[in-house]
Amino acid sequence: MFLIFGIKRLKHRMATSFALCGQCGTPAAQVIVRIGTWFSLFFIPIIPLGNKYISTCTLCGKSTKLDKAQALAMVAMEQRPPNGETGQSFLPPETSEQPPAGSAPPLAP
Quick check: 40 and 7 in contact, CB under 8 A? Answer: yes
Q: What's the predicted TM-score (pTM) here?
A: 0.65
Amino acid at 32: I
The neighbour count for residue 74, using CB atoms within 10 Å, is 20
Q: Catalogue the E-assigned strands of 2-43.
A: 5-20, 27-41
What does each of the 109 residues of the chain score in pLDDT, given as a tens digit? 777 889 999 999 999 988 888 888 889 999 999 999 999 998 899 999 999 999 999 999 999 999 999 999 989 888 776 665 555 555 555 555 555 565 556 666 6
Query: For 41, what's the count of Cα atoms within 13 Å in the CB-facing half-sphere?
Result: 5
φ, ψ for residue 69, nearest 5 deg: -65, -40
